[in-house]
Structure 1
Amino acid sequence: MIISSEPLIASRGGGETCDHVFRGSGNESIDVIQGSEFDVMQTFDEARDNHDKYAVCHFKINPKRNITHEQMLQSVSMLAVEFGFEPDTCTIVRHRKVKAGEPDADEHYHLYASWRNSNGKCLDSSYMRVRQEKISRTSEFLFGHDIVKGRHQVAVIRQLRDEGKADIADHIEAHTPDLYEPVQSAFTAIQHQSALRQGVNLGKLRRSIRDLRITSESFSKMVEGLSSLGVSIQKGEKANTYIIVNNKNNKFLGSANRLFEMKKGEFANQYEALQQGKDTSFALSEDERPVKASEMSGDEDFSPVTPAIRLRQCRLWLIRAFHPEVELLTSGPIILR
């Protein structure tokens, strides 16, 4: 799961963000789970009237596998507890967008949380990226999903241990290969835009290449399969570096090892061995085995209970589980001892 956020400036208004979230093209469907576009626009109006810099915080929740309605509410509740906003009043929108080769990951969520709550207190925005990753990794642990390696994985593990959640921290550490190696993106934003001008979507190409790696029985079969994608491998300018180029114009698209999600040295060794007539068979790990729909954690559960009540129930459960030092009053505020 990847969670990102952006504070939206009140003076700029909510028209642009609402156009994307409530009417964005390219989505199979757009479902408003809680709140409305009117609520978001009203929050912007109130923030401007109060001369606040920010109106809302726009969170995007992007699971690597589709999650149930209940699991989504748990993630929202954890975000609310972590950053101090009111989950009952936020707006939640689900987008469904088909991803090539990922039929079980075609949903993501947009969440608008008011920057200032009803008590006049602003959302706690310090170290947001690290704390968002903590919620992402915790969600993966709770939902039984594969652990995604984030840029702040070591800091997340340390923070979870400081909070007394050693079981979650131990699980994340055990399921994060190359924990202390920095995370590198498969391609940069500049490379993505350059590829688009060539008629190539690097996101789709990366998924296709990953599928090719997973389904190929050997390294040579993987390399041969690139021709069907309209790309090929060439040696880069630097030592032990190989790149993917567009067969139509021979232009650079991205680093070969990053698009194949392999270590630079490992890819170079295998490719150079292949040039010498040696081949390598692939043995997929359990984590790389394709996930079947039947192995998902369950179907969505839409009960007649209102979303606001369900959010509060999830929030209370999470606070009891992860913050035992907090005393809960079911009909009143949260009181710290």
Structure 2
Amino acid sequence: MIVKESRIRTKNGAGALTRHVLRGAKNEAIRVLTGSDWLMRDQMREAHREGLKYGLRHIAFNPDEAMTDDQLSDFAHRLCDELKANPEDLTLVIHQKDGSTHGHLILPEWQQNCTLDSRFTWMRMEKIARLEEIRLGHRLVAGRHDRAIAKALRTEGHHYEGEQVEALIPVSHGAKPRSAYTSQARRITERQDLDLPALKKLVCTLWSRSDGLKAFRDALNEHNLSMRAGDRAEQRPGAHIIEDHNGTLIGSFTRLTKVRMAEFRTLLAEEKQQVARKPEKDIKSTRLPFRRTTANFYDEFPTPKASGNQLSLPKRPVIKRPHIKEWQRQLWLQRINDADTPTTKPLRPEFPVYILSVNEVRFRQKIKKEIAEQQAILDQQAPEASWKPLDKEKTLAKWCRQLVPYQKQLRESFDRYNSAKNAWQDAEKSRWHRMTGKSQKLEKIADKLFYEFLEVLRFIVEALLYSVGIRPEPPNPICTALNEKDQVALEQFKETHDTEFSVMADSKKLAPWLDQRFETIVQDRQKRFEQSIEKHGAKKEAARRKIEQLSTLLNTKPASHHLQAVISQHISNPSPPASSFGSP
């Protein structure tokens, strides 16, 4: 569960907060459990009368797994107890977006005779969130203050919870989780019609697919984004930011991609070295890099002899030409002859010379471009041609492993409904229970559990269809508050998907159904592959014939102006008579 806190200034008023919390346009549903717009505005006016800098405190909490409204309300009251806030003055709103729910808790800063506690609130709220996750059996979310939270839990006597939180502490300080952007930055981009989470995901994807900063910059340019050095280079040397084509700030590179600053500075240094490094010019001489001398070259010059006690100087060593192989010697002689060939020497007769005009050069470039376009048509493949064949055993094992928790959840829901139904039927047999009304109460409980079972059944069947690839989207979360329309829809859903329900209820039917689904996937893939080949076969054959005709033209002598006009007309109109492609 992620918990975020923000304090609303008194001078800003409560208008923006109430519009976001009570009338958010992007929410599927908004449920106000406690409080109202009038209450928040009155609390802001009271803070203004007391001369406070902050009037309201906004706490948003988003669970990683589904929670009911009652569970979210209990968590909000635990936050109030931790901050020593009066629960009677709180405003609690539940938002439903993309099938999941999250809560917004608004507390007044002025608590009758004192201000709301604000010491180490981030750590304390993360502590309450870890306790709630452990209480509900949810997956623990790692935070930046897990070490301090574990210590505080042990101090309070929660040793088991402290050990679980301590297991989340990373080995190095740099591995601590950090947010890619603030809530304020997200609101700014939303007012500019930009989806900051989607852009953050796009930047991470582009960075994972790039093999360096240059490729990453090119990928950003393709999506109308750019990366440049930050405006505060003195305070943070090497920091770079990512913007869109309008100059709107998306975020810091290191925060969006989770790359450490030290590693990023190393990448920047390597990029600068690659830019500064110039290609070396290969101007090697065609002649051998040694001096040609004879064996008795130095013997021709007499050396002074020693006179008296003076010693004679030693002879200089003889520099000999290294021994080379015969084929190397012939190659060396050939290079010498080629280098000494005068420029007026006529070319060999086997190389005919054609003087091309500018129009002819452009004409040939146009032919080459058309050949490249036709070659691209030939290189097209079916979308699934490069896919690996499916491994039946691994695929079926993966499906079964994914469906195990859903089968367990379905059995537990059915057992609760079956127990309530048996209790109601037993009470129906007793005359005393019918007279006292206990039978009717048990009947209502059984009916409620029956529709809850149908809701779980709906969730399980959608999960089954999503796991095997029939449903493109994940299953919608389980809804606890059901009305009459939902009950009718659930009964229709059960009748429509009775086969899938039988498969999930009986493990013996599951294996044949999954086997049949796997064979259907293989057959559909092969069918799409054959249809793609049949669809593009005629187009590829026409492209092959056209490449042969254009290659014949390209290998001939320069064409006349009249023939160039005919061929250009054929290239622009791909269905001329075949005689237009004759050799010049």
Asked if 1:136 corresponds to 2:129, the answer is yes
The answer to whether the 8 A contact 1:130-1:156 is kept is yes
State the match for 1:206 in structure 2: 200
> Does 2:5 match 1:4?
yes
1:146 to 1:254, Cα distance in 2 relative to 1, 3 A? same
The percent identity for this pair of structures is: 26
Identify the residue that residue 324 of structure 1 maps to in structure 2: none
Root-mean-square deviation (CA, aligned residues, Å) is: 5.0
Q: Which residue of 1 aligns with 2:41?
A: 41
SS in 1 for 2:115: coil
Q: Which residue number corresponds to residue 558 of structure 2?
A: none
Q: 1:179 to 1:113 in 2, by over 3 A?
A: farther
How far did 1:84 drift? 0.8
Change (3 A) 1:16 1:145: same
TM-score (norm 1): 0.58
Q: After the TM superposition, which residues 195-234 of structure 1 pair with which residues of structure 2 at under 5 Å, given as runs? A: 201-208=195-202
Answer whether contact 2:34 2:90 (CA < 8 A) is retained. yes
Q: Could you tell me which residue of structure 2 aligns to residue 24 of structure 1?
A: 24
Give, in whole Å, the separation in 2 of the partners of 1:250 and 1:123: 39
Distance in 2 separating the partners of 1:210 and 1:252: 16
8 A contact 1:13–1:44 mirrored in 2: yes
Q: Determine which structure has more spread, i.e. the larger CA radius of gyration.
A: 2
Is the 1:8–1:58 Cα contact (8 Å) retained in structure 2? no
1:76 equivalent in alignment to 2:66: no
CA deviation map 1:212-271 (0-9, x unaligned): 99xx9x998xx9x9999677999xxxxxx99897897999966666534466789999xx
Deviation, structure 1 residue 117: 3.8
Say whether the 8 Å CA contact 1:147–1:172 is kept in structure 2.
no
With normalisation by structure 2, the TM-score equals 0.37
Distance between the aligned counterparts of 1:199 and 1:36, measured in 2? 28
Cα distance change on mapping 1:44 and 1:26 into 2, 3 Å: same
Q: How many residues align?
A: 274
* Amino acid in structure 2 at the alignment position of 1:23: R
Letter in 2 for 1:6: R
Distance 1:80 1:36, change over 3 A: same
How is 1:1-337 mapped onto 2 (pairs within 5 angstroms)? 1-9=2-10, 12-49=12-49, 51-53=50-52, 54-97=54-97, 103=98, 106-117=100-111, 120-143=113-136, 144-150=138-144, 152-178=145-171, 180-181=173-174, 182-186=176-180, 201-208=195-202, 258-261=255-258, 299=478, 301=480
Q: Distance in 2 between matches of 1:59 and 1:193?
A: 16
Counterpart secondary structure, 1:111: strand
Q: Does the CA-based 8 Å contact 2:83-2:116 persist in structure 1? A: yes
- In the other structure, the counterpart of 2:294 is none
Letter in 1 for 2:201: R
Say if 2:109 and 2:116, in contact at 8 Å, map to a contact too: yes
Q: Which has the higher strand share?
A: 1
Q: 1:176 to 1:211 in 2, by over 3 A?
A: farther
Go from structure 1 to structure 2 and tell me whether the alpha carbon gap of 1:179 and 1:29 turns closer, same or farther (over 3 Å shift).
farther
Paired residues of 1:68 and 1:299 also in contact (CA < 8 A): no
Query: Judging changes above 3 Å, is the alpha-carbon distance between structure 1 residues 167 and 22 closer, same or farther for their aligned structure 2 residues?
Result: same
| Residue 85 (structure 1) shift | 1.1
* Structure whose residues are more often helix by fraction: 2
Match of 1:276 in 2: none
Secondary structure of the structure 2 residue equivalent to 1:41: helix
> Runs of 5+ in structure 1 lacking a partner?
98-102, 235-240, 273-288, 304-337
Q: Using the TM superposition, give the Cα deviation of residue 71 of structure 1 relative to its aligned residue in structure 2, in angstroms.
A: 2.3
Aligned-pair distance for 1:79? 0.6
Shift of 1:204: 1.4
1-side partners of 2:111 and 2:188: how far apart? 42
Whether the aligned pair in 2 keeps the contact of 1:157 and 1:172 (CA below 8 Å) is yes
Cα 1:5/1:161, change in 2 over 3 Å = farther
